[in-house]
Amino acid sequence: MALERQRGITIRSAVVSFVVDDVRINLIDTPGHSDFIAEVERVLSLLDGVVLVVSAVEGVQAQTLVLMRALQRPHLPTLIFVNKVDRASAVPERVLEEIAHRLSPDVIGMQTVTATGTRSTRVTPYRTDDAAFTARLTEVLAEHDEAVLAAWAGGSAPVTATELRTRLAGQSRDAVVHPVLAGSGVPELIEEITTLLPARTPDPGASASGVVFKVDRGPSGEKVVYVHLRAGTVGIRERIHLGGGDVKVTGIRVFDRGGLVPADTVRAGQIAQLRSLETARIGDVIGDHGTSVPARQFSRPSLETVVKPAEAAGKGALHAALTQLAEQDPLIDLRQDDGRQEISVSLYGVVQNEVIQSVLATDYDVRAVFRESTTICVERVLGSGAAAEFIGVEPNPYLATVGLRIDTAPIGSGVEFRLEVERGSMPPAFFTAVEDAARTTLMQGLRGWEIRDCTLVLTHAGYWARRSHAHGTFDKSMSSTAGDFRSLTPLVLVAALRDAGTVVCEPIHRFHLEVPDDSQGAVLAALGKLQATPLESAQRGHRVLLAGDVPAGAVHRMQHPIPRLTRGEGYLSTALDHFRPVRGEPPSRPRTDNDPTDRTGYLRRLTR
């Protein structure tokens, strides 16, 4: 993107494919800035291995920790590459210690760096006859290999340097050890990728299986879908099963040997752009047994803002442009408030706000005004609550019986829907209508905030079977429909929520701050005014490392005084860490649905 070149940062994931020693490597470059973490999440399910880049100048940052934890959960093999060793202030030895201390103790430096921070910087691999390197390598490998442990402890013959190298490659591919390489470029890294990261042997003869990980728009506005095909072969003009339906592929371009070239087919192991898949969405699976999409690894955006066109006549163009941007980044979570005639989007931070505004202007010729961002809170259920409405019993106006109980659930567990009624007691479509309506209602709780973690149980269910007049025509007024259950469920769920009670919780970021020690007092005073709470501190030479909590709404204000108070020598990074109950009057969020918390108005709006 022109904007990426202008800002010098990665905003959207990019793909290139090349061959090293007859091994095809599909490289997906993802952003490092925390405002674009969603781009990282969308490619996690595709990866066989990872190269995590750490700066030799800035070292391990808060975002590095977030990424490493996300890679460790699915046990993704990870090489760590320390770059910028030729930059002034680069200290690769210190960074290696940080990596071992803060990311993983199971790391091994593979190279030595000389003339650090100069144009004469040289990176040299350790020789296999280097006694110190061999000792360190043996110690690290012994943690996960009994044979190496026995040799290290002196109980058996020493493991040869060649065997150590083979076992290092195996442990690296198993994601238990992380080799650390360094450089100001990547030649040394590329040489190691094929040996230290795992490779697969895809089967082009199997049934087509893959996943959509990126959606874009072509120059004429047509949808362009990025697909990683794990198995099988897909040809042009072929119909494929995608996201629950069948679609026809009318165009294929394959990433191959550094370029993007037209092709008649895409084969297993390749990444391609497919066209004419207008219904495709990020995360859609190709085939009946396609690649599954992993559980969410990162937190959702913690800020939102209202977007308005600079000119009133541009409202339609703004909505159309934001709709396309939401295709490319579903976490933008485009919300339309028809009552207030407002559009809002969710954001990770100020940089993302500026990028969206710039993209609207340059790519869509839409000038937009963004209001000041506000914090996205959540609601948590306080206890257990239940409610029910029965068919034919006032004040229930619908031909449906629905009873629901809602209970608290562990943080991060999501929403679980269960039945306490017989599954055969109603048609399946009615159960589906209840669950879908309940999950939609939980997106806006009693105060308008999403309720994320709870257990929902259907305790009562009933319906009137299909009936007809004597002459055989269907009588809707005497027969339950899925619409009855969709309309009644929000009213019952709101009553259950009121019985259980909810609390509004605000997002809290964990900040990491490094400042000169003579500015610590002024910095701590500024943090106090922003309701930031330091929880940890450590001395590193003439600098102080601080870590603590700060409300998400204060993160942007926190960024302004640090350069002034530290003479430009302070470094700050933040990442969403947890939610805590709001202190004082809890905020409410304007609703965008028919508002089941107002029963009279809800019924009137549905009738209308």
Q: Do domains 49-196 and 505-581 have the same CATH topology?
A: no
Q: What local confidence, expressed as pLDDT, does residue 493 receive?
A: 98
HSE value, Cβ hemisphere, 13 Å, CA-based, for 256: 13
Stretch 108-135: mean pLDDT, rounded?
90
Place domain 49-196 in its CATH homologous superfamily.
P-loop containing nucleotide triphosphate hydrolases (3.40.50.300)
Q: Which of 237, 276, 194 is nearest to 25 (CA)?
A: 194
Percent helix, strand and coil across the chain, each rounded to 5? 30, 30, 35
Is residue 400's pLDDT more than 80? yes
Question: Which band of pLDDT confidence, cut at 50, 70 and 90, is reported for residue 289?
Answer: low
The Cα–Cα gap between 588 and 601 comes to: 19
pLDDT above 70 as % of the chain: 96
Question: Which band of pLDDT confidence, cut at 50, 70 and 90, is reported for residue 244?
Answer: confident
**Strands 378-381 vs 400-408: parallel, antiparallel or unpaired:** unpaired
Q: What local confidence, expressed as pLDDT, does residue 113 receive?
A: 92
Q: What local confidence, expressed as pLDDT, does residue 568 receive?
A: 78
pLDDT above 90 as % of the chain: 60
Q: What local confidence, expressed as pLDDT, does residue 359 receive?
A: 92
Q: Mean pLDDT score of the chain, rounded to an integer?
A: 90
Question: Which band of pLDDT confidence, cut at 50, 70 and 90, is reported for residue 128?
Answer: confident
Distance from the Cα of residue 296 to its chain's centroid? 6
Q: What local confidence, expressed as pLDDT, does residue 419 receive?
A: 97
What is the crossing angle of helices 350-363 and 315-328, to 10°? 120
Render pLDDT for 4-14 as a digit per residue (tens, 0 to 9).
Answer: 888 888 888 99
Least confident of 157-171, 335-349, 463-477: 463-477
Structure tokens of 85? Answer: 């060793």
Q: What local confidence, expressed as pLDDT, does residue 350 receive?
A: 84
Q: State the CATH architecture for 379-500.
A: 2-Layer Sandwich (3.30)
Q: Which residues pair with 580 in a beta bridge?
A: 506
Order of strands across the sheet that contains 50-55 = 50-55, 78-83, 178-182, 107-109
Render pLDDT for 349-384 as a digit per residue (tens, 0 to 9).
Answer: 888 999 999 999 998 999 999 998 889 999 999 999
Least confident of 133-147, 148-162, 456-470, 529-543: 148-162
Q: What local confidence, expressed as pLDDT, does residue 114 receive?
A: 92
SS3 for 249? coil
Q: What local confidence, expressed as pLDDT, does residue 297 receive?
A: 66
Least confident of 214-223, 263-272, 308-317, 445-454: 214-223
CA gyration radius, the chain = 28
Number of neighbouring beta carbons within 10 Å of residue 341: 9
Stretch 575-594: mean pLDDT, rounded?
90
Question: Which band of pLDDT confidence, cut at 50, 70 and 90, is reported for residue 338?
Answer: confident
In degrees, to the nearest 5, what angle opens at C-alpha 553 toward C-alphas 551 and 555? 75
Is residue 437's pLDDT more than 90? yes
Q: What local confidence, expressed as pLDDT, does residue 468 receive?
A: 60
The Cα–Cα gap between 332 and 228 comes to: 23
State the greatest distance between any 2 C-alpha atoms of the chain, in Å, as a whole number: 96
Q: What local confidence, expressed as pLDDT, does residue 191 receive?
A: 81
Least confident of 54-63, 251-260, 266-275: 54-63
Least confident of 8-22, 428-442, 467-481: 467-481
User: CATH number of the domain at 505-581, out of 3.30.365.10, 3.30.70.240, 3.40.50.450, 3.10.129.10?
Assistant: 3.30.70.240
Query: How far from each other are the two terminal CA atoms of the chain, in whole angstroms?
Result: 47
Q: Which of 85, 66, 68 is nearest to 77 (CA)?
A: 68
Q: Which residues pair with 180 in a beta bridge?
A: 80, 109
Which burial class, exposed, middle or buried, applies to 4 when counting CB atoms under 10 A from its CB (0-12, 13-18, 19+)? middle
Stretch 407-431: mean pLDDT, rounded?
94
Stretch 223-231: mean pLDDT, rounded?
93
Least confident of 144-148, 249-253, 396-400: 144-148
Q: What local confidence, expressed as pLDDT, does residue 553 receive?
A: 85
Question: Which band of pLDDT confidence, cut at 50, 70 and 90, is reported for residue 569?
Answer: confident
**Strands 378-381 vs 450-451: parallel, antiparallel or unpaired:** parallel
User: CATH number of the domain at 303-376, out of 3.30.2230.10, 1.10.645.10, 3.30.70.870, 3.40.190.10?
Assistant: 3.30.70.870
Is residue 294's pLDDT more than 60? no
Stretch 489-503: mean pLDDT, rounded?
98
Q: What local confidence, expressed as pLDDT, does residue 32 receive?
A: 82
Question: Structural domain boundaries of the chain?
Answer: 49-196, 303-376, 379-500, 505-581
Q: What local confidence, expressed as pLDDT, does residue 304 receive?
A: 92
Least confident of 193-197, 202-206, 219-223, 410-414: 219-223
Is residue 573's pLDDT more than 90? no
Q: Which residues contact 513 (CB under 8 A, 6 or more apart)?
A: 523, 545, 546, 547, 562, 570, 571, 572
Q: Which of 39, 18, 44, 1 is nearest to 254 (CA)?
A: 18
Q: Which amino acid is at 350?
A: V
Stretch 538-547: mean pLDDT, rounded?
86
Which burial class, exposed, middle or buried, applies to 2 when counting CB atoms under 10 A from its CB (0-12, 13-18, 19+)? exposed
The continuous run of DSSP H or E covering 38 comes out as helix 37-41
Q: What local confidence, expressed as pLDDT, does residue 491 receive?
A: 98
Q: What is the pTM of this model?
A: 0.78
Pair 596, 441: CB distance under 8 Å = yes
The Cα–Cα gap between 285 and 475 comes to: 40
Stretch 238-242: mean pLDDT, rounded?
92
Is residue 219's pLDDT more than 90? no
What is the crossing angle of helices 482-500 and 428-441, to 10°? 40
Q: What local confidence, expressed as pLDDT, does residue 326 receive?
A: 92
Backbone angles phi, psi at 64, to 5 degrees: -60, -40
Stretch 16-25: mean pLDDT, rounded?
91
Distance from the Cα of residue 388 to its chain's centroid? 37
Pair 432, 360: CB distance under 8 Å = no
Least confident of 351-355, 371-375, 527-531, 552-556: 552-556
Q: Which residues contact 591 (CB under 8 A, 6 or more apart)?
A: 444, 448, 597
Q: What local confidence, expressed as pLDDT, does residue 476 receive?
A: 63
